[in-house]
Amino acid sequence: MRMIAAVALLSCGHALAGEGFDFDRRRDAGNPSLTILESLPSLPAVTFRMPEVVAIVASARGPSGVALLKANEPVPSFGIKMLTVIEVDPSRAEVRTVSAKSAVGRVWATLPKVMAAVPGAAAGMNAGFFTREDGALIGFFMERGKVLAHVGHPSMNRIFMVDGNGKPRIVVGTSAGPGGIVSAVAGKSAWEESSRSARAAVCITRSGRVRLVAAYPVQDLDHMAQYLSAKEGCASVVHLDGGGSTQMAFGENGLSTGWERKEECRKPALRSPDQCFRQVPTFLVVVPRAR
């Protein structure tokens, strides 16, 4: 098995744009030894259920290998009012990192704009953290095999990555050598922050699938991780930028929701108003494999 180096970087003390966190005021949850999820077993057919609070999505399965499991669905036992989950079969579809710069030629963009600019895009969500002032990336980020300029920080200690064969992995660390990797985004494992807010995450399940998850509201990352492990079967998780940055989309005529900090964005609708989509610099976009 090819090992990918994970090297800690020094703190740079920048604030996060999505939720306005200040790294210097909170303690990092720790950085365990390197872990790589390598095995991807054969994947059975996907089933799904739709919530009663929204209309039926025209195509809940979408292209081969991409499925909408939950669409703004409430989870009362975890205090969640809206939960959206998209599942990806890595043997049939690829999760790519996409920057707004490469997609639309600007530092900032919304997910609907980026989805429209990426050929074959079947689903997507917002991705990494950034600074409010200029959109500078906080945490490791790789697009099309190239590392983009970013500010490193030890709290960005989980990296979701995909190699040239489309195989996803999650590693522990704040940086990684190329090693055949074409897409990568760093996020958090945990964070001592407690405020009910929207949360976004990408995980690899115990069956080897990728799940993109957005939930509102969740008290903190510990509660988010507990939900993902208990209910979504996640074996390893990367917490991405949440708060008002949270946005997801599925299918050309399906789900498109944003959870900007505005009252009209806190309603379970299949298509959010334009003002519910915050402009951010990076995304995860799902593209089916060519047959």
| Closest of 234, 257, 252 to residue 53, by C-alpha | 257
Order of strands across the sheet that contains 255-258: 93-99, 282-288, 123-126, 247-250, 255-258
Six-digit token string for 55:
């209309």
Establish whether the linkage from the previous residue to 41 is cis, with ω within 30° of 0. no
pLDDT of residue 15: 35
Contact 46, 91 (CB under 8 A): no
Task: Give the amino acid at 163.
Answer: D
Whether the predicted pLDDT of 10 surpasses 70: no
pLDDT of residue 16: 40
- Parse the chain into domains and list their residue ranges: 7-38+46-222
pLDDT of residue 23: 30
Whether the predicted pLDDT of 166 surpasses 60: yes
pLDDT of residue 63: 73
Question: What SS3 string covers 181-196?
Answer: EEEEEEEECCCCCCCC
Q: pLDDT category, 254, cuts 50, 70, 90?
A: confident
Residue range 130-159: average pLDDT? 95
Q: pLDDT category, 192, cuts 50, 70, 90?
A: low
Whether the predicted pLDDT of 55 surpasses 70: no
Q: pLDDT category, 61, cuts 50, 70, 90?
A: low
| Closest of 67, 63, 62 to residue 88, by C-alpha | 67
Task: Output 182 or 27, whichever has higher pLDDT.
Answer: 182
Per-residue model confidence as pLDDT tens digits over 197-252 = 999 999 999 999 999 999 999 988 999 999 999 999 999 999 999 999 999 999 97
> In percent, how much of the chain has pLDDT > 90?
67
Residue range 242-271: average pLDDT? 92
Contact 202, 212 (CB under 8 A): yes
Task: Output 230 or 41, whichever has higher pLDDT.
Answer: 230
Six-digit token string for 218:
């969740």
Contact 115, 285 (CB under 8 A): yes
| Strand 137-138 versus strand 150-151 pairing type | parallel
Whether the predicted pLDDT of 9 surpasses 50: no
Question: How many whole angstroms separate alpha carbon 142 and alpha carbon 169?
Answer: 14
Residue range 257-275: average pLDDT? 92
| Closest of 149, 61, 93 to residue 288, by C-alpha | 93
Q: pLDDT category, 60, cuts 50, 70, 90?
A: low
Question: What SS3 string covers the chain?
Answer: CCCCCECCCCCCCCECCCCCCEHHHCCCCCCCCCCCCCCCCCCCCCCCCCCCCCCCCCCCCCCCCEEEEECCCCEHHHCECEEEEEEECCCCEEEEEEEHHHHHCCCCECHHHHHHHCCCCCEEEECCEECCCCCCEECCEEECCEECCEECCCCCCEEEEEECCCCEEEEECCCECCCCEEEEEEEECCCCCCCCEEEEEEEEECCCCEEEEEEEEECCHHHHHHHHHHHCCEEEEEEECCHHHCEEEECCCCEEEECCCCHHHHCCCCECCHHHCCCECEEEEEEECCC
Whether the predicted pLDDT of 59 surpasses 90: no
pLDDT of residue 27: 32
Most confident of 9-23, 103-117, 171-185, 190-204: 103-117
Residue range 155-181: average pLDDT? 92
Residue range 98-123: average pLDDT? 97
Question: How many whole angstroms separate alpha carbon 66 and alpha carbon 85?
Answer: 11
Q: Considering only 1-10, 45-54, 135-144, 275-284, which range has the smallest mean pLDDT?
A: 1-10
Whether the predicted pLDDT of 288 surpasses 70: yes
Per-residue model confidence as pLDDT tens digits over 210-223 = 999 999 999 889 99
